[in-house]
Homo-oligomer: A and B are copies of this chain.
Amino acid sequence: MICIDKKEIQALSRLPRLNLINSCMGYKSANLIGTISKQGRYNLAVFSSVTHIGSDPALLSFILRPTTVPRHTYTNIKETKFFSLNAITSALISKAHQTSANYPEEINEFEVTGIEPELKNDMAVPFVKESPIQLLCSYVNEYEIKENGTIHVIAAIEKIFIKDEMLDSDHWIQLDKGDIVAINGLDGYAKSELIKRFPYARVAK
């Protein structure tokens, strides 16, 4: 095995360090966050840090680096309090990755990447039409991670839209039935396939 210690990590140049640290803790969730600005402009950005926080109440979180691209996402969420979270499928990876380019605020990433937006009833935020799992979320709180100045945003799940055949009888969502991908590092997208579901683990008597 290769061993890379803290000093060697710090001595790497920026891109190798980003690659290494972004890929060493395993696969990451692949989602597009859709928002609308106060002026009514749409924004769409890829996120790989969306994590489950709790089920009762239903909460999720994601990490924002204040200095990087999805800053418009943060501004819009703070202003309008809502966002959509849309699962990325293998058909969407090329367009989804392109949303990470540093577009100016007036650019609508739906338009420029060719991802079709979907509007639902009385909700202002745009969803990704071809995404088989779409969540409406509302801003709840944020915690500054003082160790590096990132922001840990906490959000509540307001509505879940799921393609019918993905939802199992016990409300588990089988992600590979929707062809949902996982992210490997900064820029790798992986197709996944269920091996097995396990029963609740018990201590043997």
Chain A residues at the B interface, C-beta cutoff of 8 Å: 1-6, 9-10, 12, 14-31, 48-61, 63, 65, 85, 87-88, 90, 93-94, 97-103, 107, 132-135, 140-141, 143, 145-148, 150, 152, 154, 156-164, 167-168, 170-176, 180-182, 184-203
Q: Do residues B156 and A23 form an inter-chain contact, with CB atoms below 8 A?
A: no
Q: How many angstroms between the C-alpha atoms of A160 and B21 in the bound complex?
A: 9
Chain B residue numbers with a CB within 8 Å of A200 are 187
Minimal beta-carbon separation of A26 from chain B (angstroms) = 4
Minimal beta-carbon separation of A51 from chain B (angstroms) = 5
Q: Do residues B98 and A201 form an inter-chain contact, with CB atoms below 8 A?
A: yes
Interface centre among A10, A22, A26, A196 (most CB of B within 10 A): A26
Complex: chain B residue closest to A167, CB-CB: B2
Q: Do residues B150 and A152 form an inter-chain contact, with CB atoms below 8 A?
A: no
